[in-house]
């Protein structure tokens, strides 16, 4: 059979409000052309993020009812801890309300001014939490990743030569840890190979530096290893996951991604002394170590979600659906980051709209056009999000890339929704020369993409 079917049927539905093009025209103008300022009820297909937007299974909803809300020592915590230990293999499991809380606790315990933390590519909250301690967050993506259109099985890898060189130059005592993000979210959702993780692990351990995995999309990464790396075709996803984490000393996780939950996260480590310090900080801002800012029911949903996310039928559908979207628009000529990643398709907006200069925001032009055409919400990852001012001249500088991300929520949209998205993108592609550039009319200094206001250029 060629048709990709969802490996689930639908028990409960959430109606979509179908808007007209005229309504959307007024709504996007009222939102000053920033899709973050739209109300969710005015969006038909919401591809803003895959974080916390997934659908839970019947088993997870049953777990919600079973949640033990005891302040200390709840059964739900022990089921959560057992799931995490079984898959990730770390002794100390510290629940947090989401991934960034795990990051804050980890980095504020290990890092300080003068330190550098290398990563294949830091996610924005990871970078912000490292920089908040006074340390430097250094991206070391592999060289293949800079050619967006090139194919390659593991374009999410960390550059091992650059890692080794950084440690030698800066001194191991100034590298409190190394992080590898799987899959590489900011680098197009591209996977990291087992060989690359093993290489990073060897370099770190030779210098006595702990290796951490930012594990948000660990199951999607395991899928790519099974399909693309020699020697893994006959291994289960669980075995692959265990092998990945056996190479590391700890991990941070946002359960809003491959935890298949709407909230939650954790920090895990084999270092008992460090875990004690981390738990002290946890109590200060998150909560007692057996709930860490989550309700018992949330822990229960995560414990179940972590197992469901490794099911082969789920992963075939998940990665298949993202790949289907990518292939169908790329075949029509739409420039995307190749090959399609696990959780999202990234359109190269600079190549899509070559008539719009980077500082006239081709990514905003495309997000607005997709909303207007079909009520689809996507997100600009370009000069609005990552543009900066030249420290000497104060002149605005563009980002390295102008991308638009279409992130696919887990188990939420069906094949016909994806077909609708393909149709909408191709419609905008046909009319791409008509898209105007934009200027900023109002924006805060930091994290401006959330609240900036725009106007189209004449």
Ligand X SMILES: *Cc1c(COP(=O)(O)O)cnc(C)c1O
126 binds ligand X (CB under 6 A): yes
Q: Which is nearer to ligand X, 19 or 254 (CB)?
A: 254
Instruction: In angstroms, give the least distance from the CB of 12 to ligand X.
Output: 25
Least distance in Å: CB of 447 to ligand X?
13
Asked, as a colleague might, if the bond just before 291 is cis with ω within 30 of 0, I would say no
Q: Cα separations (Å) of 88 from 2, 270, 315, 376? A: 34, 11, 18, 36
Give Cβ neighbours of residue 416 (< 8 Å, ≥ 6 apart).
none
Q: Which of residues 262-301 bind ligand X (CB under 6 A)?
A: 265
Write down the least CB distance from residue 253 to ligand X, Å. 8
- Please say which residue, 190 or 383, places its beta carbon nearer to ligand X: 190
Tokens of 273: 């002394």
Q: What is the 3-state secondary structure (H, E, C) of 121-173?
A: CCCHHHHHHHHHCCCEEEECECHHHHCCCCCCCCCCCECHHHHHHHHHHHCHH
Binding mask 27-66 for ligand X (x = CB under 6 A): ------------------------x---------------
Four-CA torsion 230, 232, 233, 235, nearest 10 degrees: 170
- Contact assessment for residue 242 and residue 83, using Cβ atoms and an 8 Å cutoff: no
The verdict on 125 binding ligand X (CB under 6 A) reads yes
| 254 is a contact residue toward ligand X (CB under 6 A) | yes
Handedness of CA 415, 417, 422, 426 (dihedral sign): positive
Q: Report helix, strand or coil for 391.
A: coil
Q: Under a CB-based contact definition with an 8 Å cutoff, are residues 109 and 277 in contact? A: yes
In the region spanning residues 172 to 231, those forming contacts with ligand X, defined by CB under 6 A, are: 181, 185, 214, 216
User: Could you say whether residue 129 binds ligand X (CB under 6 A)?
Assistant: no
98 lies in the binding site for ligand X (CB under 6 A):
yes
Could you identify the residue written with the tokens 């959702």? Answer: 189
Of the candidate spans 94-102, 316-324, 348-356, 359-367, the one that interacts with ligand X by CB under 6 A turns out to be 94-102
Estimate the share of the chain in helix, then strand, then coil, as percent rounded to the nearest 5. 45, 15, 40
- Binding segment (CB under 6 A) for ligand X, from list 28-36, 119-127, 367-375, 431-439: 119-127
Q: Which residues pair with 453 in a beta bridge?
A: 442
User: Least separation, in Å, of the C-beta of 380 and ligand X?
Assistant: 17
Minimum distance from residue 363 beta carbon to ligand X (Å): 19
Pairing verdict, β 376-377 and 344-348: unpaired
Q: Tell me if 437 sits within 8 A of 402, measured CB to CB.
A: no
The site for ligand X, by CB under 6 A, has a size of 15
Minimum gap (Å) between residue 181 Cβ and ligand X = 5
Nearest-CB residue for ligand X: 99
CB of 64 to ligand X, least distance (A): 19
Which among 121-129, 271-279, 351-359, 366-374 is the span making contact with ligand X, rule CB under 6 A?
A: 121-129
Verify binding: residue 123, ligand X, rule CB under 6 A.
Answer: yes
List interacting residues with ligand X (CB under 6 A): 51, 98-100, 123, 125-126, 181, 185, 214, 216, 254, 256-257, 265
């Amino acid at each position: 059979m060629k048709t990709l079917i969802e490996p689930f049927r639908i028990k409960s539905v959430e109606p979509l409000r179908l808007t007209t093009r005229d309504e959307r025209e007024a709504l996007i103008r009222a939102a000053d052309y920033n899709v973050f300022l739209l109300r969710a009820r005015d969006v038909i297909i919401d591809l803003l993020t895959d974080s916390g937007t997934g659908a839970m299974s019947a088993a997870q909803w049953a777990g919600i009812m079973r949640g033990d809300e005891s302040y200390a020592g709840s059964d739900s915590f022990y089921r959560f801890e057992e799931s995490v230990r079984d898959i990730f293999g770390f002794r100390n499991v510290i629940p947090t309300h989401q991934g960034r809380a795990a990051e804050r606790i980890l980095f504020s315990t290990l890092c300080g001014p003068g330190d550098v933390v290398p990563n294949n590519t830091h996610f924005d909250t990871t970078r912000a939490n490292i920089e908040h301690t006074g340390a430097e967050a250094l991206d070391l993506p592999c060289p293949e990743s800079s050619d967006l259109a090139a194919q390659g099985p593991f374009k999410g890898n960390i550059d091992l030569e650059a890692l080794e060189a950084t440690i030698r130059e800066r001194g191991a005592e100034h590298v409190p840890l190394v992080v590898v993000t799987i899959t590489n979210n900011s680098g197009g959702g591209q996977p990291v190979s087992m060989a690359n993780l093993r290489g990073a692990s060897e370099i770190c351990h030779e210098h006595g530096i702990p290796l951490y995995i930012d594990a948000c999309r660990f199951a999607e990464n395991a899928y790519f290893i099974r399909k693309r790396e020699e020697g893994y075709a006959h291994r289960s996803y669980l075995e692959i996951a265990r092998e990945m984490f056996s190479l590391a000393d700890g991990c941070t996780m946002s359960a809003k991604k491959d935890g298949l939950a709407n909230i939650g996260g954790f920090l895990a480590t084999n270092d008992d002394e460090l875990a004690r310090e981390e738990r002290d900080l946890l109590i200060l801002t998150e909560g007692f170590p057996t709930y860490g800012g989550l309700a018992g029911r949330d822990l229960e949903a995560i414990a179940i979600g972590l197992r469901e996310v490794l099911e082969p039928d789920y992963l075939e559908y998940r990665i298949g659906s993202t790949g289907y979207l990518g292939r169908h628009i790329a075949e029509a000529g739409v420039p995307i980051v190749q090959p399609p990643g696990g959780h999202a398709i990234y359109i190269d907006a600079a190549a899509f709209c070559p008539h719009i200069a980077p500082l006239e925001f081709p990514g905003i032009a495309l997000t607005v056009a997709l909303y207007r055409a079909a009520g689809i919400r996507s997100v600009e990852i370009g000069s609005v999000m990552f543009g900066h001012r030249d420290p000497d001249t104060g002149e605005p500088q563009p980002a390295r890339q102008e991308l638009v991300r279409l992130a696919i929520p887990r188990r939420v949209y069906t094949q016909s929704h994806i077909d609708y998205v393909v149709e909408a993108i191709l419609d905008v592609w046909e009319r791409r020369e008509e898209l105007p550039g934009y200027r900023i009319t109002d924006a805060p200094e930091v994290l401006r993409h959330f609240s900036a206001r725009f106007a189209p250029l004449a």
